[in-house]
Amino acid sequence: MTATHYRTLVIETGVLCNNRCRFCYQRGYRALPGYPKVVPGDDVRARMRWGLANGFDEVSLTGGEPTLRPDFLDLVRYAREIGYRRVAITTNGWRLASPEFFREAAEAGLTSLGVSVHGPTAEIHDEATGHPGSFLRAQQAIRNAVATHGSSRPLRLNTFTVIHRGNVNLLSEMGTMLSGLGVRLLVFQPGILGKSNFLEASQVQVDLVEVVDGLRRVILEGQRGGFRVKLFNLPPCLFRDVLRGLDLDAYERATFRENDAVRPGSRSHGDASGYMRLPVCASCVLTHSCPGLHVTLAPQEDLASHFEEEIGAISAWQHPQLWLAGMDLLRASSLFRVIRKARLAGFPDVRVTYGGSSVAGRAGFMAARQAGASEIILVHHARNPGSGDRILCHAGNDQYLAQALRDLASVPLGEVRLSLLVSPCDEALALLDSPEMELLQRLPFDLHVRAPWREQEDPSPSAARVTRFLKGLATAPVQPRQVVLQVPWPHPWEVAFALPWLALLATGRLRFDLTATVMPTAFADPRYSVMNWSLPHVGGRVLGQEGKLLPVRDLLARAVRAQPITRETLINARTPGDDPGTSGFHPLPPGSAPRPTPVPRT
């Protein structure tokens, strides 16, 4: 199963699928009204031509489920006709379980397939996919592929497995079952979170230490049973002691995301969005083929420490009102720790922003109250057709806020204030008019409004937008205690012209907040804000000398102890003598992570 190709073009052909996997990152897209379910065939063919012109020799079609396309066989034929050596697909196997359809696909030119299998039994797999019978169909597709081995047209075969709560302790059993069917290469990847799958995927996500432990068992089983394991979205250095059981072949990949217009949306050279580095990455020979660790798998110690260090770099005397944003991945205990750090650092007014997709959930609200937060700010993001974020482009975070309100209604907030942050737009008024917001009638709240001229290039209609919004707000079924326009640390022209003029037009219906400080963290960076609805986007981040924003340190997985992979390590991995008795992954106990020398803020 060693790879003989070097450049693979991956084309997402759409989100259409007959499974409903709980962890699927495309899950939320399928529920968006009017969202296109398939990429037009002409676009797929144009992307294939781009790949050939740029030196790619294999094309891999993914979905959704590519075999559901009416033109699937035509696309496979086209790829072979224009010169691709290999045509691969990632599939759930449902249609390819049919011997007749499988034969047609092979005759069209299909050379490789990866079949998704997410459990060792029908009960576990079908529960994960939400599609009864999908396990038996996937098994039959595998048998059909294995039957081609030894023929004149053998198909390369591997399986794909997402590690989730239902299978993490049964990965070695999966290896035994799949190898018994004839599979010799098993690809495993952890479930990761994002805006599009958070509500379901967060319920079945597994901690990194459990993922590594489960994978080590199946890797060792593979060494005994004659199959190999390939990692996806996981750094191999976590498995340094069992490298002999891993397939480490790396080749250049380029990916067309299903919504990309012209060029592939990402390249697997370690710069993929959402990934953080380990300290050993700089000296590892695989650093250019390994993306690092996905931020949604980061140990809580690393996440909490990052926030604590940024808090320590801010002066509570200069910035008394501190907004803590981007903490969606913190559990309740870590959230308590960060808020407590801010209070002990002397900040008298600590406000926690929340967009509805927090791992902490309801427990996070309780932790915020117990740690001494002054205010919980629910952050609304309206639909933005111009956004590159597909969820934000087609829908805002209304459904997330609705769940947050239901959780808040069951938590005694005590002295903690509640507020809602919106933009002065029709979507915000529609939110306040929706049945989901009726709970606000018994939860007294303030309404924060973003300064519209900080959201767009043309400031001329901004005052009119605010006054029109205030007029519409007057008839909303739920009324805030006060409406506050957020213009933190205003520019001189705002103080001299915009704010006085707006105050005159608002006729007392609006007050201004000029001193908010949104704490700068790595989660304001698009590379890491993979699920952050909580980013307020009001400005007001901490300024350094000459009015420039203070630098923010990249996220680094320091609580993950690993040794770099060297050339000698790779050579030794192919010879006997390794001791598989100890794991290469040793999470540090809470509070014991090494602290780097603080970076001067200049």
Residue 543 belongs to domain with CATH number: 3.20.20
198: helix, coil or strand? helix
Q: Which residues of 191-202 are buried (b: 16+ CB within 10 A; e: fewer)?
A: bbbbbbbbbbbb
507: alpha, beta or left? (left if phi > 0; alpha if psi -120 to 50): left
Question: Which of 11, 8, 63 is closest to 37 using CA atoms?
Answer: 63
Look at residue 592 in the predicted model and tell me its pLDDT. 39
Q: Does residue 485 share a domain with residue 364? A: yes
The answer to whether residue 568 sits within a structural domain is no
Q: Is the pLDDT of residue 272 over 60?
A: no
Alpha-carbon gap, residue 208 to 217, rounded angstroms: 14
Average pLDDT value for residue range 62-76? 96
Q: Is the pLDDT of residue 36 over 90?
A: no
Contact assessment for residue 468 and residue 449, using Cβ atoms and an 8 Å cutoff: no
Q: Does residue 293 share a domain with residue 304? A: no
Average pLDDT value for residue range 316-326? 92
Spatial CB neighbours of 187, under 8 Å, sequence gap ≥ 6: 114, 158, 159, 160, 161, 229, 230, 231, 232
Domain boundary among 547, 573, 594: 547
Question: Which of 318, 411, 423 is closest to 373 using CA atoms?
Answer: 411
Look at residue 458 in the predicted model and tell me its pLDDT. 54
Please give the sequence-ordered ranges of beta strands (E in DSSP) within 121-280, or none if there are none: 156-163, 185-190, 228-231, 252-256, 266-267, 275-276
Q: Does residue 335 share a domain with residue 251? A: no
Average pLDDT value for residue range 459-479? 87
Lowest-pLDDT choice from 94-98, 305-309, 506-510: 506-510
Look at residue 552 in the predicted model and tell me its pLDDT. 76
Q: Kindly report, residue by residue over 165-175, the tens digit of the pLDDT.
A: 999 999 999 99
Angle, to 10 degrees, between the axis of helix 122-129 and the axis of helix 134-146?
A: 110
Confidence band (pLDDT; 50, 70, 90) for 35?
confident
Percent of the chain with pLDDT over 90: 62
Alpha-carbon gap, residue 343 to 338, rounded angstroms: 9
Look at residue 594 in the predicted model and tell me its pLDDT. 34
Q: Is the pLDDT of residue 244 over 70?
A: yes
Look at residue 601 in the predicted model and tell me its pLDDT. 31
The Cα-based distances of 415 to 145, 339, 347, 365, 370 in angstroms read 64, 15, 17, 13, 10
Q: Does residue 337 share a domain with residue 188? A: no
Q: Is the pLDDT of residue 109 over 70?
A: yes
Look at residue 600 in the predicted model and tell me its pLDDT. 30
Confidence band (pLDDT; 50, 70, 90) for 528?
confident
Q: Does residue 395 share a domain with residue 543? A: yes
Contact assessment for residue 295 and residue 275, using Cβ atoms and an 8 Å cutoff: yes
Lowest-pLDDT choice from 162-171, 341-350, 549-558: 549-558
Contact assessment for residue 395 and residue 455, using Cβ atoms and an 8 Å cutoff: no
What CATH number is attached to the domain comprising 118?
Answer: 3.20.20.70
| Token pair recorded at residue 228 | 């190999």
Spatial CB neighbours of 169, under 8 Å, sequence gap ≥ 6: 214
The answer to whether residue 2 sits within a structural domain is no
Q: Does residue 237 share a domain with residue 377? A: no
Percent of the chain with pLDDT over 70: 88
Lowest-pLDDT choice from 39-48, 328-337, 400-409, 548-557: 548-557
Contact assessment for residue 274 and residue 530, using Cβ atoms and an 8 Å cutoff: yes
Domain boundary among 282, 297, 312: 297
Q: Is the pLDDT of residue 461 over 70?
A: no
Q: Does residue 293 share a domain with residue 366? A: no
Q: Does residue 311 share a domain with residue 383? A: yes
Confidence band (pLDDT; 50, 70, 90) for 597?
very low
Alpha-carbon gap, residue 440 to 512, rounded angstroms: 22
The Cα-based distances of 549 to 283, 337, 450, 556 in angstroms read 31, 26, 20, 21
Look at residue 32 in the predicted model and tell me its pLDDT. 85
Can you spell out the DSSP letters for 496-519?
IIIHHHHHHHHTTS-EEE--EEE-
| Token pair recorded at residue 166 | 């239902």
The answer to whether residue 576 sits within a structural domain is no
Q: Using alpha carbons only, how large is the chain's radius of gyration in Å?
A: 26
| Token pair recorded at residue 5 | 């190709």
Alpha-carbon gap, residue 428 to 447, rounded angstroms: 11
Question: Which of 191, 165, 163 is closest to 175 using CA atoms?
Answer: 163
The total domain count for the chain is: 2
Average pLDDT value for residue range 468-488? 94
Lowest-pLDDT choice from 4-13, 58-67, 198-207: 4-13
Alpha-carbon gap, residue 270 to 184, rounded angstroms: 27
Q: Does residue 384 share a domain with residue 259? A: no
Contact assessment for residue 181 and residue 138, using Cβ atoms and an 8 Å cutoff: no
The answer to whether residue 370 sits within a structural domain is yes
Q: Does residue 182 share a domain with residue 313? A: no
Alpha-carbon gap, residue 488 to 485, rounded angstroms: 9
The answer to whether residue 111 sits within a structural domain is yes
DSSP code at position 287 = T
The answer to whether residue 601 sits within a structural domain is no
Q: Kindly report, residue by residue over 385-426, the tens digit of the pLDDT.
A: 877 778 888 889 998 999 999 999 888 989 999 999 999 999
| Token pair recorded at residue 553 | 């340190």
Pairing status of strand 58-62 against strand 86-91: parallel
- Give the domain extent around 221: 7-297
Q: What is the pTM of this model?
A: 0.88
Higher pLDDT, 292 or 574: 292
| Token pair recorded at residue 414 | 């005590």
Q: Does residue 418 share a domain with residue 491? A: yes
Average pLDDT value for residue range 89-110? 97
The answer to whether residue 350 sits within a structural domain is yes
Q: Kindly report, residue by residue over 285-298, the tens digit of the pLDDT.
A: 888 778 889 999 99
Please give the sequence-ordered ranges of beta strands (E in DSSP) within 490-597, or none if there are none: 511-513, 516-518, 560-561, 586-587
Question: Which of 194, 118, 125 is closest to 163 using CA atoms?
Answer: 118
Preceding peptide of 64 cis, ω within 30°: yes
Domain boundary among 251, 271, 297: 297
| Mean pLDDT taken over the chain | 87
The answer to whether residue 164 sits within a structural domain is yes
Q: Kindly report, residue by residue over 179-215, the tens digit of the pLDDT.
A: 999 999 999 999 999 888 998 999 999 999 999 999 9
Phi, psi of 305, deg, nearest 5: -60, -40
Q: Does residue 315 share a domain with residue 220? A: no
Alpha-carbon gap, residue 413 to 375, rounded angstroms: 9
